[in-house]
Amino acid sequence: MDMNPMLLLQLQKRMGLFQEDHPKVMPFMQAVGNMAIEEGTVFAVKVTTADGKVLESNIKLTANDIETINMMKNANN
């Protein structure tokens, strides 16, 4: 899969803005990546829309999930 270099630059800039607006997110994600990626860990997500609608979901990590996560982490290095 080829990525557009201009799109990658735009995405990098947007990620910088996101980190400025939400400074606790990346340290949290790093802590999760360092301490909680093991088989059986449950990732739960809850989203509340501006009009109050709640959407929730969760997944229990499997060995396949962990392999995929590790591949994504290694792709950034």
What pLDDT, in 10s, does the model give residues 45-57?
Answer: 999 999 999 999 9
Q: Is the pTM of this model over 0.85?
A: no
Residues 27, 5 share a domain: yes
Within 8 A by CB and 6+ apart from 46, the residues are: 54, 55, 56
44 lies in the same domain as 77: yes
* Shared-domain flag, residues 31 and 46: no
Q: Give the domain extent around 15.
A: 1-35
| Same domain as 46, residue 29 | no
Number of domains in the chain: 2
Contacts (Cβ under 8 Å, ≥6 apart) of 39:
61, 62, 63, 66
Reference 30, options 62, 64, 73, 77; nearest CA is: 73
Question: Could you give the percent of the chain with pLDDT greater than 70?
Answer: 96
Quick one: 20 and 6 in the same domain?
yes
